[in-house]
Structure 1
Amino acid sequence: MPHLPSISGQMALGPALRLFPVAGNALLHLRSALLFAGAPLSEGECELIATYVSALNGCDYCVGSHRGAAEAQGITPLLLDDIVADPAAARDAEEAALFALLGTLTHTPSSVRPADVEAVRATGRSDDEIAHAVQVCAFFNGMNRIAEGLGLEREPRSAAHAAQQSANRGAVPADATAALLRYHDGLMLGPSPLSIGERATIAAYVSVLNGCEAGVAAHRAAALRDDLTAERLDAVIADPDAAPEAMQPLLRYVRVLSQPGGAVAQADVDAVFAAGWSEEALFHAISVCALTHQLDRLTACPGIAPDPRVAALYAEH
């Protein structure tokens, strides 16, 4: 059941995001840049990664959507099931090593080690290919939270339907990082029912949950633009019960949303609305949570440096 009253029962992700066009359209633009730009990974490989990550996160909506898209690109259903169950069941050692890395990056990004990346390199994958795979993995760790946070429910798409959508997608942007930066700046610094400090506090808290020290430091600095003292902010990102009363249900919501498996309950949503927050405010909180999951994973692979423009998101704060 959708969590926001304005989202109808079987609404797809695209129309749902367009209800909030400032952030939603930028997110759709980023999705196109990552999945359809064509290099260095094929569209089929991107859809396989999307399905794998979504299955690990227990996001049934995204699994249904991207499984059909992967099948439309020639990925067999049996392969999808086998890789989700065990990355070692991939088509070859190259693919198995890559999916082992992406599995660790999804489950525990702070635990990725140089040896995990080197194992993928040793199979012949280029750094550009690994970086693209990490980008897609990171993006879907965020997108899964969007779908789960909105409570989207939809029947799985057929391969034929997915193929038609792919054929009709139109022009796509070539620079995924530029699309990510535009999305970041609009979401974190643009107009919102949440202040810049409140958005940064949510992001810092999610980075705490992810064990991402760089993310905590960057978003903590931005959060201090509000009137919170450093001591109070540190208490808040350690325990939502220390937050101002109105912020507490938002932080509890993103804590639940950060867990895999679609754990968000209607009571979590109702608590946010009871604190006086609007649908748009909740959408922005969900989006900040999702973006933070993405950014934390983009910077988590040792030896695969993120685009300098992404790294600058941390340095500039």
Structure 2
Amino acid sequence: MLPELTDLSTFRDLLVGAPGPDGAATTGAQERNGQLTKPPGALGRLEDLAIWYAGWRGSPRPTVEAPQVIVFAGNHGVTAQGVSAFPAEVTVQMVMNFQHGGAAINQLAKAAGAKMDVHALELDNPTADFTQAPALSEAELLTALQVGWNAVDPESDLLVVGEMGIGNTTPAAAIGCALFGGDAEEWTGRGTGVDDAGLANKTRVVAEGVALHGDTQDGLEVLRCLGGREIAAMAGAIAAARVLRIPVILDGFICCAAAACLAKTSQGALDHTVAGHQSAEGAHSSLLGHLNKEPLLTLGLRLGEGSGGTLAINIVKSAIACHSGMATFAEAGVSDG
């Protein structure tokens, strides 16, 4: 069972003190990998994935039985600045679509054999416009972190978190810029498809937000000032998975912005994660570079919802199936040279 998050200091302490992978399981998985009926390294990154997963699950011969996909939704006051091609009402409409099973993420979760949960966070109460004030108070940030923290099923063995929130590439860009530096232009993309004038306006908004709040490198403070409820909830869920030693597949730009806030809070906070894909949002590749994550897939996706991470569940499942299901040379009666 996970402890309650009584305050932000508790969250920070739990993240810093979270357990690492099981060394014996990692060693056992490495030894097993060396005995399987294949040339050394023949399965490439699948071998690394299997050993990584084995360590976090504490078994040298693990299986993936209960993947979970969680989609968090939130609305952003900064959309009043005209940063999105779509109105904020679309967030509510898409949440209903998720709940009725009609979105892309529903189909991808079903194809991956994953349980899917949806959590809408105060959609009638957008965050503050971060060009004018911090997006969230400390109490609001803690509440959103707690939603994500509580949403993780302790019985799950692989997690993907996704989001829905009109305008949320703007806070994600601001978070990246505040945490890793550079100009707002480098971090700001077209999101759902704004035109050139819209992109210039969005870049201005990101620059103003970072100028107002970006004088700290504290990940939780950047998340509070520039983030959103669904972004904080994703961070809470990723952190809970770290404490529970549940491996996580990161989704796109917005999910990785949430994860970056954890990386700046505690060294090694993302050791239990892999990048599911590199999205078509321009700055996602830069963000992955700062997080030292190499994507499993690059398919030009820019949907959000956890779609790229969920698509990668089957990659991880395949890696584990080969690792745990293949015969060793001794078992198969094959000469290993």
TM-score, normalised with respect to structure 1:
0.30
Identify the structure with the greater strand proportion: 2
| Bigger share in helix | 1
